[in-house]
A and B are shown apart, each in its own frame.
Chain A
Amino acid sequence: MYGMEQINTATGFANAKFGSSKGQGAKGFDEPEIRILELSKYVIKFELLNTDLSVANSLRRIIIAEVPTMAIDLVEVKENTSALHDEFIAHRLGLIPLQSFNVDQFNLSDQCACSSMCAQCSVQFKLHAVCSDRDQMEVNTRHIQPLSDAPIIPVQYVNDKGIEEDPILIMKLSKNQQLDMNLVARKGNGKIHAKWSPVATCQMRKEPIVEIDQDKINRDLDIEKRKEFVALCPREVFAFNDYRNAVEIENSDKCIQCIECLRFAQANNLERAVKIAEREDKFVFTVESTGVLTPEDIVSRALQILMRKLYELGTQMKKYGVNAD
């Protein structure tokens, strides 16, 4: 059994860390805010405000590992006379991003009613390439031919100007080598294997707070030292105002909490003049899609997955005879 002391520690910790636990609605948990900072074809940046680290982290984890997509999962090798061995090519094929806007049409293969595979849980492709008339040939995603009319195809990247980029290179063949494979794409998520993760990066950071006591710094440091102070920050958070000969904060958002400025202040007996911290209730997300889904779609799917998860657990709780009150 747990001793009384331990229980008290736990409660004490809870109170200390999460502020007043008076009532059930600790501030800022039920009223989160979202603000979108940037949205492009492959990247979304947004702020999540008035919320807890655990919420932001759950969202991040779901985006990376629980948003389902399609990826090549089974490769049948009929002919491979290339320099690369079968598994090596199969692994490369698995990592090719496939457009997954219609992923909801499909079942996870272990939950499908069929015995091995069917049109509801898999998409078939053919990869056939022969190098006969050249010394060398590139095999790329354009060689992957769908065998059904399911709209799952390798992602075609477009650059900022809307021009199509080169297809993804899979491998090279030299003269008289050939490749003949059947590919099967299946639905999955990043928990099973990273190839199903819809994002290249999903990072989350707390917003930095940088405060300086301008009066003190500009009074106690000579001009050379002030310039030194501005220059030591690796992220150019501070600026030197030539009219006032004073240090100013230019862009506190760039700060990476390296505390170089704090150390400088301490060395010059100005401990109190510089303050570096992070906001505990604001998170800046950068989600970069691999192209399988649009970035805004990834985030809203992630939120829906969280909702569905809780709905399922809610029905499970009902089975235990707990009513919704």
Chain B
Amino acid sequence: MSSTRKSQVQSSKVASEQIKTQKDIDMESDEDRNDENRNDNQQQSRPKLSIQRQDGDNTNATYSFLNEDHTLGNLLRNVIIKNNQVEFCAYSVPHPSEPIMNVRLQVAPSCGDTKKVLKHGLKRIAKMSDVLTEKFQNALDKYENRMSD
């Protein structure tokens, strides 16, 4: 009879608590939220991106990104601030153990809407990462050709 002793050890203790606080999110009806849960098997109670802003004022807003940090925050800020219709743009990670990153955006009244500016910023980074991926593949091919010659 072997007296086996059993113990389970998790080799890393992961704080996987999810933040459940739902701050006021406008522009999103309940149907939208249900829709999202159906599409996402992650079943987060908080959407990946939410907006906090004052009613009727489109020229400033704070966007809250879930599961993002300085990686995207700094990149996004640097892209958005190059747009000369932007009066203020900054990002912050309120607490390092919360998976949340906020971007504060204020634009000139002539520009109209912060959403457009954010969308444009995201699109530019997307385009750039597209180009980077392609350039990296080309560089690899070139390097391999050079080596085999």
Scoring A26, A180, A313, A321 by chain B CB atoms within 10 A of each residue's CB, the highest score goes to: A313
Q: Chain B residues with Cβ under 8 A from A61's Cβ?
A: 69-71
Q: How far is the CA of A217 from the CA of B2 in the complex (A)?
A: 82
B84 proximal to A (CB < 8 A):
yes
The minimal Cβ–Cβ distance linking A298 to chain B, given in whole angstroms, is: 11
B122 proximal to A (CB < 8 A):
yes
One of A36, A193, A319, A324 near B143 (C-beta < 8 A): A36
Chain B interface extent, by class: 35 or more
The minimal Cβ–Cβ distance linking B23 to chain A, given in whole angstroms, is: 15
A73 proximal to B (CB < 8 A):
yes
Q: How far is the CA of A198 from the CA of B106 in the complex (A)?
A: 38
B81 proximal to A (CB < 8 A):
yes
Contact (Cβ within 8 A) B6 A58: no
The stretch of A4-12, A201-209, A232-240, A254-262 in contact with B is A4-12
Q: How far is the CA of A35 from the CA of B146 in the complex (A)?
A: 12
B19 proximal to A (CB < 8 A):
no
Contact (Cβ within 8 A) B84 A316: no
Interface residues, chain B, CB within 8 Å of chain A? 2, 4-12, 14, 16, 27-28, 32, 36, 41-42, 47-49, 51, 65, 68-72, 74-75, 77-79, 81-84, 86-90, 106, 115-116, 118-120, 122-133, 135-140, 142-143, 147
14 A-B contact pairs sorted by A residue (CB < 8 Å) = A7-B87, A10-B81, A11-B86, A29-B79, A33-B135, A34-B136, A55-B128, A75-B11, A90-B10, A90-B11, A94-B12, A303-B129, A304-B133, A306-B129
